[in-house]
A and B are shown apart, each in its own frame.
Chain A
Amino acid sequence: MGEIEVHALRGVDLKLYAGEFVVLLGASGSGKSTLLNILGGLDAPTSGTVECRGHALTGAGDSALTRFRREHVGFVFQFYNLIPSLTARENVALVTEIARAPMAPEEALELVGLRDRMDHYPAQLSGGEQQRVAIARAIAKRPDVLLCDEPTGALDSATGVLVLQALERINRETGALTVVITHNAVIARMADRVIRLSDGRVAGIERNASRADPRDLSW
């Protein structure tokens, strides 16, 4: 198999602001995940620059990126990616133990409405509950940036709404820049801004006049 160079993203020029709720919309293969990974310091672009609050992420070494993620970024993944051998509380503690000014794991779980399920292992939780644990894990460090990759992708509509409610509440209460990537256009209605990606390029940016309440969404 020969190596074929594929450009996942081309000519993307974006500014994201503190406190914003942004939805990145695009079909699969449009480059959403690559963009998210670059924003979170998981991946580096082959060319171009990324900056966060005046700090350059491009050209930063592994340890600088690790510190950036540890101190500023919270991730939520489509498949929750909880550690199966740890309880909900311990999964959150995994992050609070290495963060600078985290909330207590219990508090984070309270925020996502899982106070009474704290000592359950992932296998004992439903998909929606697992995703909410993942969100608690992401927000417990009080991140500046909360990056969510298809957080409702593996959930049914009703459960997905619960998860989105949690995200909206955290965005509102902690003021973290929240970026949700999805191929589900309905979710775009709850955003401040909607960025459409297509074929690795920004196809358009819209600003919603008002953010819809997640409870009003369904798909």
Chain B
Amino acid sequence: MTALHRKLWRELRLLRGQVIAIALVMVGGIGTMVMAQTNYAALAETRALYYAEYRFAEVFARVKRAPITVLETVRAIPGVREADPRVSGYVMLEIGGFDEPITGQVVSLPRPGDPGLNQLFLRAGRLAADGAEVVVGEVFAEAHGLRPGDSLVAILNGRRQWLTISGIGLSPEFIYQIRPGDAFPDFEHFGVLWMAHEPLATAFDMDGAFNDLALTLTRDARQEDVIDALDGLLAPFGATGAHGRELQLSHRFLDEELGQLEVMTTLFTAIFLGVSAFLLNVVIGRLVGTQREQIAVLKAYGYGRLELTLHYGQLALLMVGVGVLPGLALGAWLGRGLANIYTGFFRFPYLEWSLQPFVIALACGFALAAASIGTFGALQRVFRLAPAEAMRPEAPPVFRASLTERLGLGRLLDPAARMILRNLGRRPLRTALSVLGIGLAVGILVMSRFQRAAIEEMIDVQFGFAQRDDFAVTFAEPASARAAFELADLPGVRAVEPFRSAAVRLRHGHREYRTALQGLPDGGDLKRVLDAELRPADLPADGLLLTDYLADLLRVRPGDLVDVEFLEGHRRTLAVRVAGTVHEYFGVGAYARRETVNRLLGEGGTVSGAWLALARGARAGVVSELRARPRVAAVTDRAAMVQSFRDTMAEMILTFTLVATLLAASIAIGVVYNASRITLEERGREFASLRVLGYTRREVRALLLGELFTLAFLALVPGFLLGTAMVWVLVQGFSSELYRVPLVISPPAFALAALIVLVATALSGWLVCRRLDRLDLVAALKLKE
């Protein structure tokens, strides 16, 4: 080991407090980055593998009923490689001992000789044979403790039928199991089932026919062309419009999650990189400052400027290097944890989580980037330092009256406060960056509380103001309004509000969007649309209301005409005026009075279903009554759905909050501890002098702590603003057609953030005060400035 290397190690040991502080921040940064990157890779790669291995379809189409002979024509469409005809539909399920409504989506298994797309992975048991057998989706089976051999009741097209569970399965089509139109998954009240083709076709009156089509394309096919051809071909059979994977529900939610991971990675990586670089900048900058003469001597003795620059560069690399391994370890731990949470929501046969070499390279890259950004200036000074000049001592620092004093408020300050302010004012950039660093910690803390608050707000608005029904009942086929109002006679039903819902494609210019047009009862109380201020809005006598997000997507403004292509009924396209926009957090849609929708469809008082308000304690009775009605295809229990969602999200939110809090605390401690160590180094002599002059320990401590707490307090308001800005970035990144997250920050979030940062400040202060107390008065005074 050369003498220069020895110098390196000894200095590293001397700086160990600061090295640890920087490492803490590095560990946080690398940890979150690794956590997010590994999960991004795991989700994206596992999905790709799963799709390929289990032959996930590329294009999907639904029809009312098409004879199986049409298939030949479908397969002849240029670009179509394989086509799987399926039967699928929604059914009500009953499981012994569970009296809440359950909706099932039953999908047929491929017939012998079919290409067999969207294959099942069997976690247990075997595929369903012809007859009354069924494969149950894993999440649903887990939620109810179902095992092969158990049985359940399905109301198939109005007939109650006992089905025996032959296996527990997973499908690339339902990695994320969510009921279409729902805001979040509800594993207890919604399940996917697979049955053999024949019995299912018989049950749904689909003998020799299909109502669902899954296709793969040839390599050179253009998806849009195939979709156009399919829509034309299937239109006579009641097609609702084919679509690709991008509109497939499970696929879209996964895409959404991947997008969010990307936003989070970018945001957190940028913050941690910035803070680490800043801390390194202060520490190495200070070191180079105090070692000016040493550098000059080494240069005088013939050390080259590159050699010396490398020497300090190595020091910086060692300092950041300390954080790499623990950072990777933390990232691996958090990454596995997050992957575990993900496997609860996203069901793959396996989730290939691994710490791949590129992630390790990324972590090293992070450290290298922090070192380069943070020490570039200092290393440049080492490189450029003219040895002859450096022999002369550095000019004494220039002090000036602080702003407070110049404003004439100086008289209000005691000498100690004046010293604190002048010292902070002497290095305005460093002070500003310290404030920014602590502010980022405050910001992350504010942000960490955002998720819970936002979800509560979304639930409050959606289910408190907009959707206030107890049960949503959907009919298998559009029915007369009388069928809905009959439900009012059921015991325990307080109110019934029928609705008409129709699949439409909205078009404006070259932009189009597939959604549901919902016809709501005028003056209804169970489903209301809300204006921008979240007040219930009146339904226009004529025309549509669009979700504001959808209006933006389509670039339409109130007063514009939009083309409404009905994907059911007469299937015509009509130009309808947009009367206004409404605000909602979940999904996007078009709304009108029920009469308007009926009129546009050219039908009488037809309804698709009804919202019910129930009397207290009437739930179970109403459920069993509804199960007995063949017309009822699905019943959704709002309260149960919200509760189940809260339960599923609770762990995720807790984990997120905890991790973010730890990260923020590491930043706060890192920044404050460093600021105090630097202050102690720079002013140790001054503090010692004060002690010699008769200041007590407590008084000197007050000076140091005063400076730290001044920094922390200065950081609070900028921190609140930064937190709000971070939340804004997340809100922007998270908003999609599936949901928009509101920007809500509760005052307690600010208070808690402030409290945690002040506690972290006190903790670092305490650590440094122990050093201050050990200050050797005589030695400190002998030190050459």
Contact = CB atoms under 8 A, between A and B. Distances in A.
A167 interface: no
A68 B14 CA distance: 34
B408 interface: no
Interface string B496-535: 0000000000000000000000000000000000000000
B388 A43 contact: yes
Contact of A42 (B3, B4, B387, B784): B387
Interface stretch (A11-19, A47-55, A75-83, A203-211): A75-83
Given A66-B303, A69-B302, A86-B7, A77 B297 contact: yes
A150 B302 CA distance: 21
Contacts of A34: 388
Contacts of B302: 66-71, 73, 95, 98-99
A37 interface: yes
Contacts of A93: 2-3
A69 B301 contact: yes
Contact of B294 (A42, A63, A66, A81): A81
Contact of B297 (A37, A62, A81, A85): A81
Given A83-B7, A85-B10, A94 B300 contact: no
A33 B293 CA distance: 15
Given A42-B388, A77-B391, A83-B294, A66 B304 contact: yes
B682 interface: no
B489 interface: no
Residue from the set B11, B294, B305, B387 with the largest chain A CB neighbour count within 10 Å: B387
A86 B10 contact: yes
Contacts of A90: 3, 6-7
A62 B301 contact: no
A91 interface: yes
B126 interface: no
Interface in A149-163: 149
B298 interface: yes
Contacts of B298: 83, 94
B14 A85 contact: yes
B7 A37 contact: no
A69 B307 CA distance: 15
Residue from the set A63, A66, A70 with the largest chain B CB neighbour count within 10 Å: A66
Interface in A79-112: 79, 81, 83, 85-86, 90-91, 93-95, 97-99
Contacts of B14: 85
A128 interface: no
Given A66-B305, A97-B2, A85 B300 contact: no
A153 to B, nearest CB: 13
Contacts of B304: 63, 66
B426 interface: no
A43 B300 CA distance: 10
B301 A91 contact: no
A40 interface: yes
Contacts of A85: 6-7, 10-11, 14
B299 interface: yes
Residue from the set A79, A81, A86, A137 with the largest chain B CB neighbour count within 10 Å: A81
B301 A75 contact: yes
Residue from the set B3, B299, B386 with the largest chain A CB neighbour count within 10 Å: B3
Interface string B535-563: 00000000000000000000000000000
B3 A97 contact: yes
A86 B3 contact: yes
Contacts, number: 78
A5 B90 CA distance: 92
A66 B307 CA distance: 11
Nearest to B306: A63
Interface string B279-301: 00000000000000110111111
B3 A62 contact: no
A77 B304 CA distance: 19
Contacts of B388: 34, 37, 42-43
Interface string B1-44: 01110110011001000000000000000000000000000000
A137 B298 CA distance: 11
A12 B293 CA distance: 28
B388 to A, nearest CB: 4
Residue from the set B6, B297, B304 with the largest chain A CB neighbour count within 10 Å: B297
Contacts of A79: 293, 784
A58 to B, nearest CB: 15
Given A42-B388, A94-B4, A70 B784 contact: no
Contacts of A81: 293-294, 296-297
B410 to A, nearest CB: 27
Interface string B753-773: 000000000000000000000
Contacts of B2: 93, 97
Interface string A24-68: 000000000110010010110000000000000000001100111
A79 B10 CA distance: 22
Contact of A98 (B300, B303, B391): B303
Interface string B383-418: 000111001000000000000000000000000000
Contacts of A74: 301
A149 B676 CA distance: 37
A90 B7 CA distance: 9
Contacts of B10: 85-86
B71 to A, nearest CB: 80
Interface string B291-330: 0011011111111110000000000000000000000000
A28 to B, nearest CB: 12
Interface string B431-462: 00000000000000000000000000000000
A18 to B, nearest CB: 20
Interface in A123-150: 137, 149
Contacts of B386: 42-43
Nearest to A34: B388
Nearest to A40: B300
B305 A62 contact: yes
Contacts of B6: 85-86, 90
A94 B3 contact: yes
A132 to B, nearest CB: 16
A151 B342 CA distance: 71
Nearest to B389: A43
Contacts of B299: 42, 66, 69
B711 to A, nearest CB: 30
Contacts of B11: 85
A181 to B, nearest CB: 12
A71 B296 CA distance: 17
Contacts of B293: 79, 81
Contacts of B391: 33, 37, 77, 149
Contacts of B784: 79
A83 B3 CA distance: 10
A42 B300 contact: yes
B540 to A, nearest CB: 74
Given A83-B7, A86-B7, A95 B301 contact: yes
B301 A94 contact: yes
Nearest to B294: A83
A40 B386 CA distance: 13
Nearest to A123: B779
Interface of B: 2-4, 6-7, 10-11, 14, 293-294, 296-305, 386-388, 391, 784
Given A37-B391, A68-B302, A95-B302, 7 more contacts: A63-B304, A75-B297, A83-B294, A83-B298, A85-B7, A86-B6, A95-B301
| CB-CB nearest 10 A-B residue pairs | A70-B302, A85-B10, A94-B3, A43-B388, A37-B388, A69-B302, A42-B388, A81-B297, A93-B3, A90-B3
28 contacts: A37-B391, A42-B299, A42-B300, A42-B386, A42-B388, A43-B386, A43-B388, A66-B303, A69-B299, A69-B302, A73-B302, A74-B301, A75-B297, A75-B301, A77-B391, A79-B293, A81-B297, A83-B298, A85-B7, A86-B7, A91-B3, A94-B3, A94-B4, A94-B7, A94-B301, A95-B301, A97-B2, A99-B302
